[in-house]
Amino acid sequence: MLFTAFFGLISCSSKSQNTIAKNVNKENILIVYLSRTNNTKAVAEIIQQNVGGKLVALELQKPYPENYKATVQQVVDENANGYLPPLKTKIDSIEKYDVVFVGFPTWDMKMPPPMKSFLHQYDLSGKTIIPFNTNAGYGVGSGFETVRKLCPNSKVLEGFSTKGGIERDGVFFVMKGEKEKQAQDEVRKWLQKIGML
């Protein structure tokens, strides 16, 4: 009897986790990402290979400097002042998307200002928001917390984070070979866990 109850519990939980994948059309999935060294872009593409959806790269009206130190200083200033850089990227008919993946690197242990611009600019109320992140090995910082804060009327699912490049040390794109395979496996497991596969 205990076994039956336990089995029933497992069945229910796995059913509830699968509901998102079953109820969402691939046409209603949006994957928005910001990527400086293409590592976050690579994770966004792995997600798209698994769940479908429209892939959109965030671009700024005035791009950050090529110089790493200059960009770091600009981002520190933007965070200190609460500045939201204007986006060049425009997303038509945001209302048609039920699930929105938001991907970004960790900058200054925070969410980058351009992703904050996106979350301020578009009304994501009632949508399922799924954050993902790449970082230099120090973790996501306050990034996922910021997603929850800026999307108070959305359902925010557990995020995914993995180590990407370390631009400060001249290590740029790392999502190739073994690292790419590892990322593909980790992303797939995470998508299954959150009910997107």
Q: Model's pTM, two decimal places?
A: 0.89
- For the domain covering 26-194, report its CATH number: 3.40.50.360
SS3 93: coil
* Opening angle at CA 146, ends 59 and 36, nearest 5: 30
d(CA 191, CA 129): 13
Tell me what percent of the residues of the chain surpass a pLDDT of 70.
90
Regions of the chain with pLDDT less than 50 = 1-17
Using an 8 Å Cβ cutoff, are 153 and 128 in contact? no
Asked whether the beta carbons of 100 and 115 are under 8 A apart, the reply is no
Residue 110 contacts residue 76 (beta carbons within 8 Å): no
Please report the pLDDT score of residue 105 as a whole number: 97
Q: Give the pLDDT of residue 148.
A: 98
Output the pLDDT for position 19: 60
Written as six digits, the tokens of 41 are 């872009």
CA distance 51 to 184: 13
Q: What's the pLDDT score for residue 3?
A: 37
What are 143-150's contacts with CB under 8 Å, separation 24+?
143/104, 143/106, 143/110, 143/111, 146/110, 146/111, 146/116, 146/119, 147/102, 147/111, 147/119, 150/116, 150/119, 150/120
The pLDDT tens digits for 57-98 are 999 999 999 999 999 999 999 999 999 999 999 999 999 999
